[in-house]
Amino acid sequence: TQLLEQSPQFLSIQEGENLTVYCNSSSVFSSLQWYRQEPGEGPVLLVTVVTGGEVKKLKRLTFQFGDARKDSSLHITAAQPGDTGLYLCAGGISGGSYIPTFGRGTSLIVHP
Amino acid sequence: DAGVTQSPTHLIKTRGQHVTLRCSPISGHKSVSWYQQVLGQGPQFIFQYYEKEERGRGNFPDRFSARQFPNYSSELNVNALLLGDSALYLCASSLGLAGRTLFFGEGSRLTVL
């Protein structure tokens, strides 16, 4: 069974602060996705990383896939209240059905 | 274009009852997956269907069943409801079996009393 551990579980910060969320596993993944989920809604995809060591940027969000494709991080620069939500990482193995395993998520609250 | 739609959005049942949840995927998407999300947890995989056939099953009891129709919509059925079945049930669609991007609906919030 593939397990994804996310840390921290909860994060409460002030607007303008920087933060990093981690996603770790003992398993190797073909690709890893980061989703954001807001209350009362389903998760929405932010990014997919595929290559070990890959870095992707989405405005103030920077995503990195570990060299061994077992871990990933999400860094947010100058957080804004609109960044508030549950951040989920999900990893999967390509070949046949792609059925990602999700972590428990990091709940982020950004206070104005 | 419409996204993934799920119904009902909220429902309350009592222990022992059964429930049917419905999902319509994005037009053109042939794969539908079901996930259970308990408060404070990430989504847990229940089923994946593609072209009306079950292509993956998570670690859930036989009380959980699903099917996919010719128009690619899907139903999730849960029998003999337990208190622990209270959760947000998410449906996700993707273009095909190997699609890495899941498009989620808003979910069906089930409360079992």
- In 3D space, the residue among B56, B42, B44 whose CA is nearest the CA of residue B99 turns out to be B56
- Per the structure block, which two tokens stand in for B86? 């209270």
Determine whether the interchain pair A102/B43 forms a contact, defined as Cβ–Cβ distance below 8 Å: yes
pLDDT at B99 (0 to 100): 78
Residue B1: what pLDDT? Answer: 62
The residue assigned the tokens 């609109």 is A82
> What is the DSSP annotation of A31-52?
EEEEEEE-TTS--EEEEEE-ST
**Over the stretch B74-108, which tens digit does the pLDDT of each residue have?**
999 999 999 999 999 999 999 887 778 899 999 99
The per-residue pLDDT for range A3-42, each reduced to its tens digit, is 899 999 999 999 999 999 999 999 999 999 999 999 889 9
Nearest 5°: phi and psi at B2? -75, 145
Chain B touched by A41 (CB under 8 Å):
yes
Mean pLDDT of chain A: 94
- Residues of chain B in contact with residue A42, where contact means CB-CB under 8 angstroms, are 4, 90, 92, 104-107
Query: How confident is the model over B5-57, as pLDDT tens digits?
Result: 999 999 999 999 999 999 999 999 999 999 999 988 899 999 999 999 999 99
The verdict on a CB contact (< 8 Å) between A33 and B101 is yes
Which chain A residue has its CA at the smallest distance from B101's CA? A45
Residue A95 has pLDDT above 80, yes or no: no
